């Protein structure tokens, strides 16, 4: 059971990081060829982050098949810790209040995705 949950979490984190990476490349391309302003870019990044964490939580829930809110929360918290470590160790900066609020939203989106992912399958108890 633990091995299944670990594989589900790993698959969810890989999905989240893959979606964020692909989205970053697309946004970088759009910045190069268009004239996006910083305010719009900030909202686009927030929506992409929320959608990525929701999809990651959904996939984690589908793979884990149980405890959707817990594995969704772990997916979101794992992403937040990963982001914090990169920012703190790479740029010597902690989270601002705005970033903390965003990451709470990311964790919440992953929890909702995990709950929906577990319940999409249906009742598997006999």
Q: Are 82 and 25 in contact (CB under 8 A)?
A: no
In this predicted model, what pLDDT tens digit does every residue of 53-85 receive, in sequence order? Answer: 999 999 999 998 888 899 999 999 999 999 999
In this predicted model, what pLDDT tens digit does every residue of 92-103 receive, in sequence order? Answer: 888 999 999 999
């Amino acid at each position: 059971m633990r091995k299944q949950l670990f594989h589900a979490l790993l698959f969810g984190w890989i999905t989240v990081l893959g979606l964020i990476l692909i989205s970053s490349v697309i946004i970088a391309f759009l910045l190069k060829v268009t004239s996006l302003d910083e305010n719009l870019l900030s909202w686009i990044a927030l929506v992409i982050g929320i959608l990525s964490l929701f999809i990651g939580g959904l996939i984690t829930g589908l793979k884990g098949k149980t405890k959707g809110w817990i594995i969704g929360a772990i997916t979101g918290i794992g992403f937040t810790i990963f982001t914090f470590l990169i920012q703190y160790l790479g740029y010597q900066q902690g989270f601002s209040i705005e970033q903390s609020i965003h990451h709470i939203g990311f964790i919440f989106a992953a929890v909702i995705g995990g709950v929906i992912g577990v319940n999409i399958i249906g009742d598997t108890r006999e």
